[in-house]
Amino acid sequence: MADVFALDVSMGKSYCVWYRDHHCLKEFELPHTNEGFSKLLGIIKQSQNPTVYFEATGVYSRVVERFCEMNKLHFCRRNPLELHLKSESLRRVKTDLKDAHRIALSVQDHHFRLTVPWAKNYRRLHELSRFYNQLNADWTYRLNHLHTALEQTFPELKQLFVNRASKLALNIVELFPHPALVQPYSRVRLKNLLMSATDKKISKPKAYKYADKLLSLAQNAYPAVPSDAIQVDEVRYYARQLMALTQQKEQLIKQMENTAQRLPEFMLYSSFPGIGAQTAAQLMGELGDISRFDNSNQLNAFVGIDIRRYQSGTYQGQDHINKRGNPLARKLLYFTVLNMIRQQHIRSNHIVDYYYRLKEKRPHPKLNKVALVACMNKTLKCLLSMIKHQEKYHYRYTDSMVHMKA
């Protein structure tokens, strides 16, 4: 029987217990310092075939994971919910000491698969993807604040663009956050300013078109605040912030694509209709090396689209997806399927065919979201089969292969 080191991880420290054959040999507090981990390594070297177990606690458990990887130790990072379900009792006492013992006893009574560290490029893709999503959240936050401020200074400016968050739109918003700032300019001077002061190159006819529309909007505008109000500075501030975030996002996309292209799976993902370079890189970052999964059911559970079913007596609850997996991967897949449907005229895609079969199924056609989730499931099956067989997407071959493996 292998020795078990169980850690209850918290911020800056862990409580560690050492078990052998259901007997506790040692317990101690482990500070997350160089001295603390050196002490732990010295104790581990005295043990027999050790394995380190701990719960995934976000950023706090990352240092423990790195310690195990650096010292080439067998370790198992477990989902807290899974451990809770397998160690639940009628009597519940919650302390760091009790939790460490609970983990140790639970892993000796149940079989848990050891954690396989992600390869360097997959880990980098994962971190880039998370940073990109954080920038997206910041970008949306600032865009909402920009629209709120612009409603008070120059709301008519929103009529100037179809895409109100484009680089050109943000440049013009920064230049003219109030109609009073437009009025001193003639048509020609305004055209010249638009062509020279914006990041995006525009032609002379297009610059004249924007200048005419801008003059017309400024003439008819009735702002809620004067041109020297603090809201004008606020609009300029958020416009500059959004432009900086846009540039940062573009750089991250390039880094993700360059990193993903070093992996052989990138070409397989990109061969799938509706999955471009950016989407392929993000999917690889969130899913990792999917060849580690034994079957598509495990992959579905990782993403969180496996079915949650409830039945008691004669009552049969409505089926729902669990949503316990990776929410970012689930969101990516959802929009990937939508993109496949939008681009169906470009290239044949059996996922799109399957979507319309479900929507037109008689006598009970599927609701739109139900059909989309079913397509997400089929997409994962197809991707897993493609990766395991090292085959690019082919409409007929892939369709028959997925049905055969399903």
Which residue stretches of the chain have pLDDT < 50? 90-91, 397, 399-406
> Hey, how many other C-beta atoms are within 10 angstroms of the C-beta on 198?
19
Indicate the pairing of strand 311-312 with strand 307-308: unpaired
Three-state DSSP class for 176?
coil
For helices 350-359 and 327-342, the axis angle rounded to 10 degrees is 90
Looking up tokens 């395991």, which residue turns up?
Answer: 388
Class of domain 124-257: mainly alpha
Sign of CA dihedral 14, 15, 16, 21: negative
pLDDT in tens, 156-168: 998 888 777 788 8
Query: What is the per-residue pLDDT for 96?
Result: 58
Query: What is the per-residue pLDDT for 246?
Result: 93
Query: What is the per-residue pLDDT for 92?
Result: 52
In angstroms, the CA 303 to CA 322 distance is 9
Tokens of 289: 């090396």
Query: What is the per-residue pLDDT for 81?
Result: 67
Query: What is the per-residue pLDDT for 406?
Result: 44
In CATH terms, the fold of domain 4-109 is Nucleotidyltransferase; domain 5 (3.30.420)
DSSP string spanning 258-277? HHHTTSTHHHHHHTSTT--H
Q: Where in the chain do CATH 3.30.420.10 domains reside? A: 4-109
Q: Where in the chain do CATH 1.10.287 domains reside? A: 124-257
Looking up tokens 């680089």, which residue turns up?
Answer: 167
Cα 406 versus chain centre, distance = 27
